[in-house]
Amino acid sequence: MKVAVAGTGYVGLVTAVCLAEIGHTVICVDVDQEKIKMLQSLKSPIYEKNLEEFMKKNKDHIFYTLDYKKAYQEAEIIFIGVGTPERYDGSANLDYVYHVCEQIKGSVTADKTIVIKSTVPIGTNDEVEKFLNKESKIHFSVASNPEFLAQGTAVHDTLYASRIVVGTNDEKSKKIMEQLYLPLTKEPYNVPYLSMNRRSAEMVKYASNDFLALKISYINEIANFCEKVGANIDEVTRGMSYDSRIGNQFLKAGIGYGGSCFPKDTKALHWLGKSLDCELKTVNATIEINRIQKLKLAQKVKEDFPNLKGKKAAVLGLSFKPGTDDLREAPSLVNIDFLLDYGVNVSVYDPVALDKFKSSYKRKIKYCTTIDEAIQDCDFAFIMTEWKEIKEYDLNHYRKYMKTPFLYDGRNCYSIEAAKKAKIKYYSIGRPS
Ligand code: UDX
């Protein structure tokens, strides 16, 4: 089938490449000239395993263009995968989605199925369909098709998805979507295909992401409690995980979740609930616990070093999780701000995200390309991201290079025994120090 994809960000590009991989002819549209040029030379603006490889492999049936008119006109199906950033009040900003809809309206001359991949508040698909069909001679059907990909495993998460969720309100687009995804429901992918109404599909996305975020906040709260009662969160989660109803995923206690989805999607659903006079209390608690959790180590440092002014600290790991240079809502950001506000001299290290951080962060800190350099003469160090380089760093080096070896580990990278053996002052999350 002929598919156009509006937006070549994470969601748009991965969707496009995967649709090409299963045999469809895909044309990607973006307003960013540099990005399109880069894609045309078969380079991906983001790093994702297999992405560039599949761009090259399918280059005879995946194209990149600024010319949205032609792309939308020729496509049978148009995917919208543009950003829906968070507004100041937590609601989702749909300006980019509507901008694409206006362009679609001004371009096409035959009936079309429009698929919304971007995460949008419940009811948006209905609104978009109304908007597209208003004073229009042709008919638009809108389908909701949320994505569940995680950064770092995006291509695999799309091709070997846990499920494909498609919400439609009319038979025609229901059939078209079934046909589009047919190859993914067969060998070797065997992805379950779930057809439902549009509002349910929109809700599946929020309910799934917010549940995962809730799991993290829940285990972080339990971890904090473990510290009070002398239990060890690693042992507690191990004990819990043998119950298959609980499972062992998304129960890793730490310094809180970040990224482009959980923070935004929890706030958006909470905002929507409030606006409908139906507050989602568990979602609110998830957000609040995460906000406090991000500064847990900073609060501990304040207890251990009542006078922080002039102290030297290292922050190890900047990205919101390993395997990406994405800094959105990363716990490192609020912690660095906290330390600078208290007059601490901060050096930072990250194996991948250093340049990206440098280009957007305006306050004065020292950028280091090795952990040895970052912790040199420091009074204390924070671990914010569990990069392999950080997890495998020799604990003895903290004692060797730091002024005083106080290590605050937000990702529980080391065992308590190993820290004791290395004779460093080690404080982690939910475990006895
Ligand atoms: C997430 C969802 O996993 C994905 O399905 C959705 O489509 C988009 O949001 P992503 O944001 O890429 O994906 O990262 P993920 O691996 O889920 O981690 C999110 C955050 O939670 C990270 O900051 C991570 O450190 C944190 N996390 C995750 C924990 O603190 N503990 C855990 O047990 C798991």
84 lies in the same domain as 190: yes
Closest-lying ligand 1 atom to the alpha carbon of residue 251: 33
Residue that is last in its domain, among 276, 293, 310: 293
Asked whether the beta carbons of 5 and 16 are under 8 A apart, the reply is yes
Gap from CA of 118 to ligand 1 centroid (Å): 17
Q: Across the strands, what pairs with 406?
A: 380, 425
* pLDDT for position 433: 80
* Each residue's pLDDT tens digit, 108-164: 999 999 999 988 999 999 999 999 999 999 999 999 999 999 988 999 999 999 999
- The verdict on residue 312 lying in a domain is yes
Distance CA 396, CA 289 (A): 33
CATH number at residue 259: 1.10.1040.10
Asked whether the beta carbons of 233 and 225 are under 8 A apart, the reply is no
Among 31, 33, 49, residue whose Cα is nearest residue 41:
33
349 lies in the same domain as 361: yes
Give me the half-sphere count of Cα atoms (radius 13 Å) on the Cβ side of residue 165.
Answer: 21
116 lies in the same domain as 179: yes
Residue that is last in its domain, among 196, 223, 241: 196
Q: Which of 240, 257, 294, 391 to mutate to test the pocket of ligand 1 (most atoms within 8 A of CB)?
A: 257
211 lies in the same domain as 165: no
Distance CA 401, CA 404 (A): 9
210 lies in the same domain as 326: no
Token match 């580990």: residue?
A: 409
Q: Is the CB of 380 under 6 A from ligand 1?
A: no
* H or E stretch covering 94: none
∠ CA 379-380-386, nearest 5°, is 155
211 lies in the same domain as 93: no
- The verdict on residue 433 lying in a domain is no
37 lies in the same domain as 89: yes
3-state secondary structure of 194: strand
This prediction has a pTM of: 0.94
- Which residues of the chain fall short of a pLDDT of 70? none
Residue that is last in its domain, among 267, 293, 319: 293
Distance CA 98, CA 110 (A): 19
Q: How many domains would you assign to the chain?
A: 3
Give, using CA atoms, the residue closest to atom 15 of ligand 1: 150
Q: Is the CB of 251 under 6 A from ligand 1?
A: yes
∠ CA 42-67-48, nearest 5°, is 30
Could you check whether the bond before residue 306 is cis, i.e. omega within 30 degrees of 0? no
190 lies in the same domain as 88: yes
Q: Which of 216, 221, 291 to mutate to test the pocket of ligand 1 (most atoms within 8 A of CB)?
A: 216
327 lies in the same domain as 409: yes
* Each residue's pLDDT tens digit, 283-315: 999 999 999 999 999 999 999 999 999 999 999
Gap from CA of 399 to ligand 1 centroid (Å): 32
* pLDDT for position 157: 96
Q: Is the CB of 320 under 6 A from ligand 1?
A: yes
Asked whether the beta carbons of 138 and 169 are under 8 A apart, the reply is no
254 lies in the same domain as 321: no
Which residues are catalytic, by number? 261
Closest-lying ligand 1 atom to the alpha carbon of residue 152: 12
* pLDDT for position 90: 79
**Which residues span the domain enclosing 220?**
205-293
CATH number at residue 405: 3.40.50.720
- The verdict on residue 134 lying in a domain is yes
- The verdict on residue 432 lying in a domain is no
Distance CA 370, CA 401 (A): 12
A 10 A CB-CB count for 153 gives 14
Closest-lying ligand 1 atom to the alpha carbon of residue 385: 25
Q: Is the CB of 216 under 6 A from ligand 1?
A: yes
Distance CA 426, CA 189 (A): 45
Closest-lying ligand 1 atom to the alpha carbon of residue 261: 9
